Amino acid sequence: MSTAKLGCPKLRIMPLSIPSFPLPDARGRYGRFGGRYVPETLIPALDELEQAYEAAKQDPEFLDELDRLLREFVGRPNSLYLAERLTEHAGGAKIYLKREDQNFTGAHKINNCLAQALLAKRMGKQKIIAETGAGQHGVASATAAALLGLSCVVYMGEEDMRRQSLNVFRMQLLGAEVRPVTSGTATLKDATNEAIREWVTNVRDTFYILGSVVGPHPYPAMVRDFQSVIGEEVKVQLQEKEGRSVPDAIVACVGGGSNAIGIFAPFAYLPEGERPRLIGTEAAGHGVDTGMHAASVAWGRVGVLHGSMMYLMNDDEGQIVPPHSISAGLDYPGIGPEHCYYSVMGMAEYVPVTDAQALEGLQLLTRLEGIIPALESAHAISYAVQLARQMKPEEIVVVNLSGRGDKDVTEVMRLLEQSENKQAEGQEVKA
Amino acid sequence: MTATPETATNRGVQRLHAAFARAEAEGRAAFIPFMTGGYPDAARFGEVAGDLLARADIMEVGIPYSDPLGDGPTIQRASEQALAGGTSTRRTLELVRELRQKDDTPIVIMTYINPIYAVGPAEFMRLAQEAGVDGLILPDLPPDQDLEIADLAAQHGLAVTFLIAPTSTPERVKLVAEACTGFLYAVSVTGVTGAREGAALGEVPRMLDLARQYAQRPVVVGFGVKDAATAQQVAQVADGVVVGSAFINAVAAGRDVGALADELAAGCRR
């Protein structure tokens, strides 16, 4: 293909029809997971959203507009990049990086935000609300709102506002109002509660842009569909580079799970034997035995949060256990219902990766490839290196590099200084 | 096959309906105060809830929950405080059992669905029945999301109540009304719980007209009733008036809860 040689593949990034997947069922379920556990006030709004979305995804005008924005505003397609030095370091399978970090605003979140904001506009809703953890979804929502001339309020936990102060300012610069959330643990789950409460209150004229594959139906399906551009691009790009469209393994980090579902879903429903290994890395924090983590599948209990049944970190009385992760974007006590289904059906595996491993992964990729990944994505990098090491050189691992690490640099500096100080103390004691 | 005695499966329903009938006969809407279980602490909850129960036609006790997405700041904070004080799901049911020993007024439990699932629906119903609970209000469970919960409740003599909102379409009102066995709960505003400025009837009469087309059950109205005047307005059209955040605010401010309850109960007279 001559275009490929120019380094600019003529890739139509959003196929004219959004891919359709076998799930959810008519009731918004993935097996027993998913559903709509929300106050009755929201049910008509969810019905309205579902109908509007079903109509939009078949409307060439909507798809063309989205296609144009993803191409010209976001800069898609981003590259599928062979990480040669990382591959050499691992000494096994080839490692490709799907460079969602190259997207405008620095992460995969913009794929979904632009699409939902377009849908909001189509539905005649002028007010956008959103929740955010690390701030990436908040920034992407504020960006989409500015671009399309909509007002935007972002709910963010006070603790996260401290950890991600730069993103708070970016949202404000973009004209969004950032409302601090102080209830509960003052992190992503509480910001989501507050956004839902705000939606319940102003449901008639407000559009809620949910940032992950969680929440009541149709959100998990809609967000997946809008993020599946990631996996669809991988198929085409891998075909160009390697002469086959399906890799042997795909690794992605999972909090709620939007970047992971975006790269998994286009492969997940392949027949067994053709399906690549799909591996989601959960945030194991200080370790899954410590209780200080955000690894919902490893936690092993099922419950209901934010309108959906899923694997959930809750105690035996149903109270949500505050999660912990080094990365604000993975600091969520649940995992999207479709991931739960994949896990139960053996279509994907979910493995824990600790704070320390993620921090190592971040440094490794930075030194070997000159790419500073987001702390979230560093969880996937860390595991992919271990995995590739056990695989054959002719095999291929694709890692979803879901976001860039600029937002984390201050936090990483603090953490590295802390661990250096600890090491120094340790040496003094030994001496 | 031996049929389950009717009284076992209908116990809660019958007791609730009797309470509405009594209020109706006395020219009142039923007065339904709410208190978060274990708020402000387990000991004082007993006193406060006792004061409310003595003046109530039906009492509503909330299970404190870590993530109450249908509640405004007042009940959120009450839940956080109760949880911090060690009252969670099972303990709330024990507190109800203690209340029950003093007073026979019907008690319904308001709970998000996750605590029921975590304890296990059958086990939860068994514990509730043992504690003397008469019914459940399920604010984040649209009835079509779980088709077994109402039957399971009935097997334990518990009534179930689901909610309708000003946004509910006639189809939804019908579905929800038909699923309720105790009473139907109409949310007066699009929003979360909490006392508000200027809360007035608004869309309530329209909702109630719609609800009564389908509901063979009493219809209560809640969210935003804060004083005798607002209670009075609601009592003209509803079978029952729920007051929650106003009592929690009173407890937080150290005011006399009994006196406020007297005032609101009087407001329920037609």
Instruction: Note the pLDDT tens digit of each residue in A328-357.
Output: 889 999 999 999 999 999 999 999 999 999
CATH of the domain at A286: 3.40.50.1100
Verify that A245 and A271 share a domain, yes or no.
Answer: yes
Q: Closest to B172 (Cβ–Cβ): which among A35, A43, A189? A: A43
Verify that A115 and A257 share a domain, yes or no.
Answer: no
pLDDT digit string, tens, across residues A286-311? 999 999 999 999 999 999 999 999 99
The verdict on ipTM greater than 0.90 is yes
Q: Does A106 touch chain B (CB under 8 A)?
A: no
- Computed over its alpha carbons, how large is the radius of gyration of chain B? 17
| CA A259 – CA A296 distance, rounded (Å) | 17
Q: Which residue from A34, A37, A32 is spatially nearest to A345, judged by alpha carbons? A: A32
Confidence (pLDDT) at B244:
95
Which of A195, A222, A249 delimits the end of a domain?
A222
Return the ∠ at Cα B249 (arms to B247 and B250), rounded to 5°. Answer: 60
Verify that A325 and A405 share a domain, yes or no.
Answer: yes
| CA A42 – CA A27 distance, rounded (Å) | 16
B170-179 vs B204-214: helix axis angle to the nearest 10? 60
- Yes or no: say if B167 and A203 are a contact pair by the CB < 8 Å rule: yes
- Yes or no: say if B37 and B96 are a contact pair by the CB < 8 Å rule: yes
H or E, element range at B240: strand B240-243
The band of A146, judged by pLDDT with boundaries at 50, 70 and 90, is: very high
Q: Closest to A39 (Cβ–Cβ): which among B65, B115, B139? A: B139
Partners of B168 on chain A (C-beta within 8 Å) are 40-41, 43-44
Average pLDDT over residues A54-82: 96
| CA A247 – CA A96 distance, rounded (Å) | 10
Confidence (pLDDT) at B190:
87
Confidence (pLDDT) at A1:
40
Do the chains contact at B140 and A39, CB–CB below 8 Å?
yes
The number of domains in chain A is 2
pLDDT digit string, tens, across residues B28-67? 999 999 999 999 999 999 999 999 999 999 999 999 999 9
Verify that A96 and A178 share a domain, yes or no.
Answer: no
Confidence (pLDDT) at A7:
42
Verify that A214 and A329 share a domain, yes or no.
Answer: no
pLDDT digit string, tens, across residues A248-274? 999 999 999 999 999 999 999 999 999
Lowest mean pLDDT among A7-21, A276-290, B216-230: A7-21
pLDDT digit string, tens, across residues B77-90? 999 999 999 999 99
Q: Which residue from A177, A164, A174, A123 is spatially nearest to A331, judged by alpha carbons? A: A164
Cα separations in angstroms, A230 against A61, A78, A97, A327, B237: 21, 9, 11, 22, 55
Chain A residue at shortest CA distance from B173: A40
Task: Evaluate if residue A15 carries a pLDDT over 70.
Answer: no
| CA A431 – CA B21 distance, rounded (Å) | 83
Q: Does A418 touch chain B (CB under 8 A)?
A: no
Query: Most confidently modeled of A184-198, B147-161, B180-194?
Result: B147-161
| Domain-embedded: residue A6 | no
In the DSSP assignment, the letter for residue B202 is T
CATH assignment of B6-267, among 3.30.1390.20, 3.40.1010.20, 3.20.20.70, 1.10.10.10: 3.20.20.70
Q: Closest to B88 (Cβ–Cβ): which among A44, A189, A319? A: A319
Chain A residue at shortest CA distance from B80: A184
Task: Evaluate if residue B204 carries a pLDDT over 50.
Answer: yes
Verify that A347 and A218 share a domain, yes or no.
Answer: no
The band of A185, judged by pLDDT with boundaries at 50, 70 and 90, is: confident
- Please report, in angstroms and rounded to a whole number, the separation of the first and last CA atoms in chain A: 64
**Strand B240-243 to B219-222 pairing:** parallel
| Domain-embedded: residue A380 | yes
- Yes or no: say if A306 and A193 are a contact pair by the CB < 8 Å rule: yes
Partners of A203 on chain B (C-beta within 8 Å) are 167, 190
pLDDT digit string, tens, across residues B93-104? 999 999 999 899
Residue A207: half-sphere exposure toward Cβ, Cα within 13 Å: 29
Task: Evaluate if residue A431 carries a pLDDT over 60.
Answer: no
Mean confidence (pLDDT) of chain B: 94
CA A68 to chain centre: 22
Confidence (pLDDT) at A9:
47
| Domain-embedded: residue A62 | yes
Domain of A393 in residue numbering reads as 80-104+228-416
Verify that A201 and A162 share a domain, yes or no.
Answer: yes
The band of A366, judged by pLDDT with boundaries at 50, 70 and 90, is: very high
Verify that A85 and A181 share a domain, yes or no.
Answer: no
| Residue ranges per structural domain of chain B | 6-267
Confidence (pLDDT) at B4:
42
Which of A160, A195, A222 delimits the end of a domain?
A222
| Domain-embedded: residue A172 | yes
Confidence (pLDDT) at B7:
56
| Domain-embedded: residue A426 | no
Verify that A188 and A248 share a domain, yes or no.
Answer: no
Mean confidence (pLDDT) of chain A: 94
Confidence (pLDDT) at A429:
59
The band of A159, judged by pLDDT with boundaries at 50, 70 and 90, is: confident
Q: Does A35 touch chain B (CB under 8 A)?
A: yes
Do the chains contact at B115 and A318, CB–CB below 8 Å?
yes
Which of A164, A197, A222 delimits the end of a domain?
A222
The band of B197, judged by pLDDT with boundaries at 50, 70 and 90, is: low
Task: Evaluate if residue A107 carries a pLDDT over 90.
Answer: yes
Task: Evaluate if residue A131 carries a pLDDT over 60.
Answer: yes
pLDDT digit string, tens, across residues B227-240? 999 999 999 999 99
Give the residue numbers of A annotated as catalytic, written as ranges: 109, 131, 402
Verify that A56 and A90 share a domain, yes or no.
Answer: no
3-state secondary structure of B46: helix
Verify that A248 and A326 share a domain, yes or no.
Answer: yes
Confidence (pLDDT) at A2:
40
Which position has the token pair 């109002």?
A177
pLDDT digit string, tens, across residues A64-76? 999 999 999 999 9
| CA B237 – CA A164 distance, rounded (Å) | 50
Verify that A210 and A194 share a domain, yes or no.
Answer: yes
Q: Does B145 touch chain A (CB under 8 A)?
A: yes
Confidence (pLDDT) at B3:
40
